[in-house]
Amino acid sequence: MSNKLRVLIWDENPSHRSFEIYPDSLRAAIAAGLTELDKAGELEVKTAHLDEENQGVTQAVLDATDVLIWWGHARHGEVKDEIAEMVKKQAHEKGMGFICLHSGHYSKTFKAVLGCTGHLKGGWRESNDVETIQVCAPWHPICDGVESFVIPAEEMYGSPFDVPPPLTNIFQSHFSIGNETFPSGMTWTVGEGIDPAFTSGPGNGANQGYGIGRVFYFRPGHETYPTYLQAEVRKVIYNAVRWVGKLS
């Protein structure tokens, strides 16, 4: 039996991606980044996509997954509702780690896991913005070996972002053309372990508790830009896999 962290990278198999940048789709590029950085051999990386049998996700697949990475954009509506519910249950009840990338904020899975709308209330723009990503939590394991960095061209997302208050705001983005900002890396815990009735408590550090499942949202990753080939982005995703998978 393998002791490796089992990672599944899912995308919607987007036909509108840049085939020059991502000839084997985004999931393959993300997988290559993880494999490249996994010097210690801790990860077992697999991929799946929407056009596979059962849309690439079954209960058996989830039971064999410790960390699920999800990328979607134009085909959210095609994903079966029951898949979103299975993913939510796996995170909330069994502690599966969940990483949502870029436009996956509108996916059924992300909205189910966090119980939110995922609306971009500050708007969005495809106009080759320079995205400056500032590290806000340098002590966090997701920031290990990561300093503030620049993505030369990306899609803009603007705040406010309609999600629950995060456990930690890991990164903050600034966009060059319109001066917008966005919380581009956020963590949560979900599910068993959290007391939903908790308020401010009696003091002395008492709190609502931490959920069994760890969640990370990372904003960059529009399918027409080579974002998932950039070293800093790959390092963030690798670190995030280890964190939501409870290796760090």
Global confidence as pTM: 0.97
* pLDDT at res. 68: 99
Residue 84 scores a pLDDT above 80 = yes
* pLDDT tens for each residue of 125-164: 999 999 999 999 999 999 999 999 999 999 999 999 999 9
- Which of the four pLDDT bands, split at 50, 70 and 90, describes residue 16? confident
For 83, the enclosing helix (H) or strand (E) is helix 81-94
Residue 4 scores a pLDDT above 70 = yes
Region 206-230 average pLDDT: 98
**Is there a domain that residue 129 lies in?**
no
Task: Report the domain count for the chain.
Answer: 1
Q: What percent of the chain has pLDDT over 90?
A: 97
**Is there a domain that residue 108 lies in?**
yes
Nearest to 50 by CA among 66, 20, 70: 70
- Which of the four pLDDT bands, split at 50, 70 and 90, describes residue 199? very high
CATH code where residue 35 lies: 3.40.50.880
d(CA 12, CA 25): 9
- Which of the four pLDDT bands, split at 50, 70 and 90, describes residue 14? confident
Lookup: tokens for 173: 């983005």
Burial of 232 (0-12, 13-18, 19+ CB in 10 A): middle
The chain-wide mean pLDDT, for the chain, equals: 97
Residue 2 scores a pLDDT above 80 = no
**Is there a domain that residue 87 lies in?**
yes
Q: Which amino acid is at 135?
A: V
d(CA 133, CA 130): 10
State how far Cα 32 lies from the chain centre: 17
Q: 63-78 in b/e burial notation, b at 16+ Cβ within 10 A?
A: eebbbbbbbbbebbee
**Is there a domain that residue 169 lies in?**
no
Residue 205 scores a pLDDT above 90 = yes
Residue 1 scores a pLDDT above 60 = no
Residues of the domain holding 71: 5-118+184-244
| C-beta separation of 45 from 242 below 8 A | no
Lookup: tokens for 150: 């620049």
Region 89-103 average pLDDT: 98
**Is there a domain that residue 152 lies in?**
no
Lookup: tokens for 175: 């966009």
Q: What percent of the chain has pLDDT over 70?
A: 99
d(CA 106, CA 84): 12
- Half-sphere exposure (Cβ direction) of 21: Cα atoms closer than 13 Å: 18
DSSP letters spanning 202-217: SSTT--S---SEEEEE
